[in-house]
Amino acid sequence: MLKTLAAFVLCLAALPPSHATAQDARAVVKDASEEMGVIGLDAVTYSGVAAVGNFGQSRTISFGLASSSIRDYARTIDFATPASRATGDLIPPATGGPAEPREYDELVTPEFAGWAHQMRIWVTPWGFLRGAAAATPSVRTRTIDGVAYRVVSWSPAQKAPSGAAYRLNGYINADNLVDRVETWVEHPIFGDMHVEYRYSGYRPLHSVMVPTRVAERRVGMETFVAEIRQFESNPADLEELMALPPVEERRRLAAAPPLPAPAVSERLADGVYRVTGDYASLIVEFKDHVVVLEAPQNEQRGLALLSEATRLFPSKRVRYVVNTHAHFDHAEGLPPFVAEGVTILTDDTSRYFIETALGEPRTLLTDTLAKSRKKPKVEGVLDSRVLTDGKRTIELHHVRKLAHSDGMLIAWLPAERILFTADVDAAEVIAQLGLKVERHVQVH
């Protein structure tokens, strides 16, 4: 009996602080809205400078992302529509010479229905408070790094693909300012991807409290920063500032990307097939299993590769899928393989990233991995690894000192003299490894 009571007390101690009533939450939202000048605020426009991290495409796939600067950054938000437009001149990282600027244009309208787009309006400090006032918020207290916050939470009417509710948490400090806002967005690699915005350097502009610095973090990585230098509330020329394209054009821009090209295979050698499409893969037969080289693009492509492997070799299961590098366009086809229990082979510098990302909760998604609830099996390749059954051999080699990715693998089939690469200088690889290549297969 004492053990049972002790366990019960421990369980109570482990519970998070209870939420205050909706009435208490509304009072917190009201106080913050008054302090920040949100009451009667229907639109804002602000400008300055910004930078966006090359999330999912940097040489280093996790922390230390390369970034592109945005000159003449300007953003206008119409909370009533709701809609948002951000513009500027984007300058990519220099790669051996001066980079040419190109147009930066981030558009959010009701046609862009995904939460990844819509949340950009509601994670702003003013949008968060407006949304909380219109919803049924809750509040709790939390202390982070010695700072006490009242954490207001609310959910939009919009639901995730799984039917689960999205959630926003706003951290309001003792000065009634929104210090940060967080939410979760479905992502093919990260599952329930955590997105956080931090606001600092508040100052009063046009009767509104405005942060001078905005910083976005995705799964802890800083992916966007902006310095706000000018601000206007309820601009009279709102329509001109937004300059929204016609509805039909917005629908076209917001349309889902086309499905990948069909997975059609062609025989390169006995037991070796190249799968064509927007991106190429190889399916290779071994004595008692199959190896797939590269699962790119998206879930549909991953499923198509598994289906084609089964069609070609119906009595053998896929044991390994090789990921050349962890850039998102080369890794978003991996989740179906994880759902099938297939082991991922990737460069050792990317092993922890792949393992952690694909192991995150997927409550917002309904894909094959979310349904299977399986955890990834990932093995890293240091300098090289040989897969062989005594007859067939695949050599995997790490490629050093690449500007494109610091976690790159290439595959070499010595008996067939087939080289398989993605985003590398094949001539340099051939020279480094002393290969006598008869056929070079490139992912794209």
**Predicted pLDDT at 94:** 64
51 pLDDT above the threshold of 50:
yes
315 pLDDT above the threshold of 80:
yes
Q: What are phi and psi of 85, to 5 degrees?
A: -140, 130
Binned at pLDDT 50, 70 and 90, residue 373 comes out as: very high
Comma-separated ranges of CATH 3.60.15.10 domains in the chain:
264-442
**Predicted pLDDT at 59:** 84
H-helix segments, 141-279: 238-242, 247-254
102 pLDDT above the threshold of 50:
yes
The listed CATH number (3.40.50.920, 3.30.300.130, 3.60.15.10, 2.60.120.10) that belongs to domain 264-442: 3.60.15.10
Within 10 Å of residue 168's Cβ, how many Cβ atoms? Answer: 23
- The C-alpha atoms of residue 336 and residue 185 are separated, in whole angstroms, by 20
**Is residue 41 within 8 Å of residue 3, measured between CB atoms?**
no
- The C-alpha atoms of residue 198 and residue 218 are separated, in whole angstroms, by 12
Q: What are phi and psi of 361, to 5 degrees?
A: -55, 150
What are the residues facing 290 on neighbouring strands? 285, 318
Please state the pTM of the whole predicted model.
0.90
User: What letter represents residue 230's amino acid?
Assistant: Q
Comma-separated ranges of CATH 2.50.20 domains in the chain:
18-254
Tell me the mean pLDDT in the region 313-321: 98
- The C-alpha atoms of residue 115 and residue 200 are separated, in whole angstroms, by 25
Within 10 Å of residue 333's Cβ, how many Cβ atoms? Answer: 28
- The C-alpha atoms of residue 344 and residue 149 are separated, in whole angstroms, by 42
* Fold of the 18-254 domain: outer membrane lipoprotein receptor (LolB), chain A (2.50.20)
Binned at pLDDT 50, 70 and 90, residue 302 comes out as: very high
The CA-atom distances, in angstroms, between 30 and each of 134, 151, 218, 301, 392 are 11, 14, 29, 48, 69
